[in-house]
Amino acid sequence: MIIDHEVAFIVLIDGAGRVLMQHRGPDKRVEPGRLSTPSGLVEPGEDALTAAHRERLEETGLTADLELARVLEQIGADGTVVRLHVFAGSTDARQDDVVCGEGLAMEFLTRQELATRDLASNVWALLGQE
């Protein structure tokens, strides 16, 4: 199987156990307008952990240690194969500390709140709850 793209996803959990979610803009090619964790493409010559740290800082303004939690592969409707590198970390940041560097909004949500929102199709797999 040939991997067409690699994407680093960041699952940041705050002190209350809430997950930082990004409201994707309507202009996004993949799952526009839905909630997902911050993420971004792994650029040529970059490893997935470096991409995760870069995207975390660019999209949230937060610092956090990240560890690889899981690697998933998805096949799109067009047959493209995407490898998802999911990195997890904890933060003592509060909502007011988050900088929305990309998307419409960034907010910490409980898993109960997530169940009532319009989520990207892979969110529960990213969180390890398929």
User: CA-CA distance, 50 to 92, in Å (whole number)?
Assistant: 21
Which residues make beta-bridge pairs with 12? 89
- Residue 29: what pLDDT? 83
User: Is residue 81 helix, strand or coil?
Assistant: strand
Q: pLDDT tens digit string along 2-43?
A: 889 999 999 999 999 999 999 998 988 888 999 999 999 999
User: CA-CA distance, 99 to 44, in Å (whole number)?
Assistant: 26
CATH number of the domain at 97, please.
3.90.79.10
Q: pLDDT tens digit string along 32-72?
A: 999 999 999 999 999 999 999 999 999 999 999 999 999 99
Computed on alpha carbons and rounded to an integer, the radius of gyration of the chain in Å comes to 14
Are 38 and 49 in contact by the 8 Å Cβ rule? The answer is no
Say how many domains are in the chain.
Answer: 1
Say which amino acid occupies 11: V
Flag whether the pTM goes above 0.85. Answer: yes
Give the domain range for residue 104: 5-126
